[in-house]
Amino acid sequence: MTIHSQTPQFFLTSPSPCPYLAGQFERKVFTHLIGDRAPDLLDLLTQGGFRRSQNIAYRPACERCRACVSVRILVREFQPTRSMRRVWLRNGDLVGRIGDPEPSSEQYSLFRRYLDSRHAMGGMSEMSVLDYAMMVEDSQVDTRLVRYLRRGPDSRFSERSDGSLVGAALTDVMNDGLSMVYSFFDPDESERSLGTYMILDHIERARKMGLPYVYLGYWVKDSPKMNYKIRYQPQEHLTPKGWERYEEG
């Protein structure tokens, strides 16, 4: 008898209140990303609408709702809007450093301030420094941490001259794109539009790496907190027929 120990097993969560639509309940189907096959499995599952959280891949499996739509940006065709170009120029004093996913006290301090300001009642609001470290480090796929720092006088020559941290993005590198797992930034720097800037930076990084997509996770049409994702055109949405091109207007 052959035992397929590498075959992933899928599980279904119990219903819980939906974080995006009032009065709705969500369920998720999930599996574990472990072993040598984890990177290939993540590639396959991401193309099927899954997201990663530590060593778990999950996607919505709600009984009466299909509002969550997986979104990916078409990197080669993307052209920034005028307002996006202004955001890019406004953050010209920042430098992005991509490296191994290694947590630090400076990161956690910024992460904590971001949660307290933007998501005080969210599911991550009680995360401790150890929880943050696990979120960053606990991955068996190709995960990077992009740190956004104020540009020091000699930043072009040495990372040691970089200034303070203003944002960070935990990002998976896959065969067909970059998947933005989680990002956070300084809530006191709202005039910078750092969330927009980090997505623009990931599009440019994917372009230089020859990757066709940037995966943004789920878009919910009737959720104001998700509206920003639709701005990055053109993009593709995962439908029952597969990935289909979507352009507004």
pLDDT digits (tens, 9 = 90+) for 26-50: 999 999 999 999 999 999 999 999 9
Axis crossing angle, helix 105-118 with helix 129-137, rounded to the nearest 10: 110
143 and 106 fall within a common domain: yes
pLDDT digits (tens, 9 = 90+) for 186-201: 999 999 999 999 999 9
Counted domains in the chain = 2
For the residues 4-31, what does the mean pLDDT come to? Answer: 88
CB contact at 8 A, 75 and 235: no
Q: What is the dihedral of CA 25, 221, 234, 56, to 10 degrees?
A: -10
* Residue 2 domain flag: no
* Residue 98 domain flag: yes
117 and 88 fall within a common domain: yes
* Residue 1 domain flag: no
Smallest CA-to-CA distance from 189 within 179, 180, 201, 198 is with 198
Asked if residue 234 has a cis previous peptide bond (ω within 30° of 0), the answer is yes
28 and 128 fall within a common domain: no
CB contact at 8 A, 26 and 15: yes
21 and 89 fall within a common domain: no
24 and 144 fall within a common domain: no
129 and 16 fall within a common domain: no
* Residue 4 domain flag: no
- pLDDT confidence of residue 136: 97
119 and 27 fall within a common domain: no
- pLDDT confidence of residue 8: 86
Which of 68, 96, 116 lies at the terminal end of a domain, its last residue?
68
Distance between CA atoms of residues 27 and 13, nearest Å: 6
36 and 117 fall within a common domain: no
pLDDT greater than 80 at residue 125 = no
| Placement of tokens 């301090």 in the chain | 109
Per-residue DSSP letter, 234: S
Distance between CA atoms of residues 115 and 100, nearest Å: 23
Distance between CA atoms of residues 202 and 73, nearest Å: 10
The alpha helices in 75-210, defined as continuous H runs, are 82-90, 105-118, 129-137, 194-209
* Residue 56 domain flag: yes
Range of the domain at 39: 11-68
For the chain, state the CA radius of gyration.
18
Report the 10 Å Cβ neighbour count for 11.
11
Q: Which pLDDT band holds residue 159 (cuts at 50, 70, 90)? A: low
Which of 34, 68, 102 lies at the terminal end of a domain, its last residue?
68
Distance between CA atoms of residues 43 and 167, nearest Å: 26
24 and 38 fall within a common domain: yes
- pLDDT confidence of residue 123: 67
* Residue 3 domain flag: no
Report the 10 Å Cβ neighbour count for 159.
13
* Residue 172 domain flag: yes
230 and 138 fall within a common domain: yes
* Residue 159 domain flag: yes
Pairwise pLDDT comparison (2 vs 173), residue with the higher score: 173
For the residues 134-150, what does the mean pLDDT come to? Answer: 96
162 and 108 fall within a common domain: yes
- pLDDT confidence of residue 3: 43
Q: Which pLDDT band holds residue 225 (cuts at 50, 70, 90)? A: confident
- pLDDT confidence of residue 6: 65
pLDDT greater than 60 at residue 5 = no
31 and 112 fall within a common domain: no
Q: What percent of the chain has pLDDT over 90?
A: 79
Which of 44, 68, 92 lies at the terminal end of a domain, its last residue?
68
CATH number at residue 209: 3.40.630.30
